[in-house]
Amino acid sequence: MLKQRVITAVVLAPLLLALIFLASTPVFAALLALIFLLGLWEWTRMAGARGHPFRALLLAGYGVLFALCWPLVQTRWWWTPVLAGLIWWLLAPWWLMRIEFAASRTRNHVILKLLAGMLIVVPAWCAVVVLHGDRLTPASPHGKWWVLCFALIVVAADIGAYSAGSRWGRHKLAPKISPGKTREGVYGALVCSGAVGLVCGAALHVPAWHLPAMVVLALVTVLFSIEGDLFESLIKRHAGVKDSGALFPGHGGLFDRMDSLVAALPVFVLGKVVLGL
């Protein structure tokens, strides 16, 4: 499994870099919307939506939301959908602590999970499009590098969690939701992401007195990414599936790769603004 994960990561990395650095922001936004829609296709199945025609209709609705948000992220009100995403993740722990909530596939529960998918993915898309397009710091156009910085922080957290959890993992983080995750893995994720955040901050010429804030932002970002991973694990538990799909060997489905990213993006982008980075 580890070998498959490494091979998949090696193949995906150049594609991700090309998407970030070679595409203009409109093209980046369009391609990323398509990728996120593919992830949402998997989400509709996990949420309990039945029938390909109905799920295709839901996907069209999500696509309309992306289209409606595009002009919004070009204005000074870009932060409104991003803030909505952050608020969702601040409230999501209530659901995580009540793991049987909405577990059955009733109509109301399916609708609730479909709405959750909207609040998870659409604000994240808005956040990364704003970041890529230098809407945050137009006088210092390093948006593409900040997108890479964010991706490296989350990837470092994943590597740190896997390494520390495999070597020292003894205490389960949330055994009823995701038995494989440990507190030691969380510590490993925080150490690695903090170090990468510090290096990225220096590489992006963040002033020395702001580097501690950069480390704090990396740590908080990773805590939200872990929450996103746990929340998707809970939804998969409700759906009775191990992975969201089978698109990537060793990695599962597309949403399995997105869960940490989409949870972390709103806090990273808003934190960058609040901390003046």
At which residue do the structure tokens 């602590």 appear? 97
User: What pLDDT, on the 0 to 100 scale, is given for residue 247?
Assistant: 66
Domain region containing 225? 2-274
The residues near 135 (Cβ < 8 Å, ≥ 6 apart) are: 73, 74, 78, 143
How would DSSP label each residue in 46-64? HHT--SHHHHHHHHHHHHH
Domain count, the chain: 1
Question: Strand, coil or helix: what is 133?
Answer: coil
Please state the φ and ψ torsions of residue 25, each to the nearest 5 degrees.
Answer: -60, -40
Length of the chain equals 277
Average pLDDT over residues 12-33: 92
pLDDT tens readout for residues 61-101: 999 999 999 999 999 999 999 999 999 999 999 999 999 99
Average pLDDT over residues 147-151: 94
User: What pLDDT, on the 0 to 100 scale, is given for residue 264?
Assistant: 96
pLDDT tens readout for residues 138-147: 545 688 999 9
Give the Cα separation of 192 and 260 in Å (integer).
15
Q: Is the model's pLDDT at 249 over the cut of 70?
A: no
96 and 231 Cβ atoms separated by less than 8 Å: yes
DSSP category for residue 241: -
How would DSSP label each residue in 144-190? HHHHHHHHHHHHHHHHHHHHHHHHH--SEEETTTEEEEEHHHHHHHH
User: What pLDDT, on the 0 to 100 scale, is given for residue 10?
Assistant: 75
At which residue do the structure tokens 């000074």 appear? 76
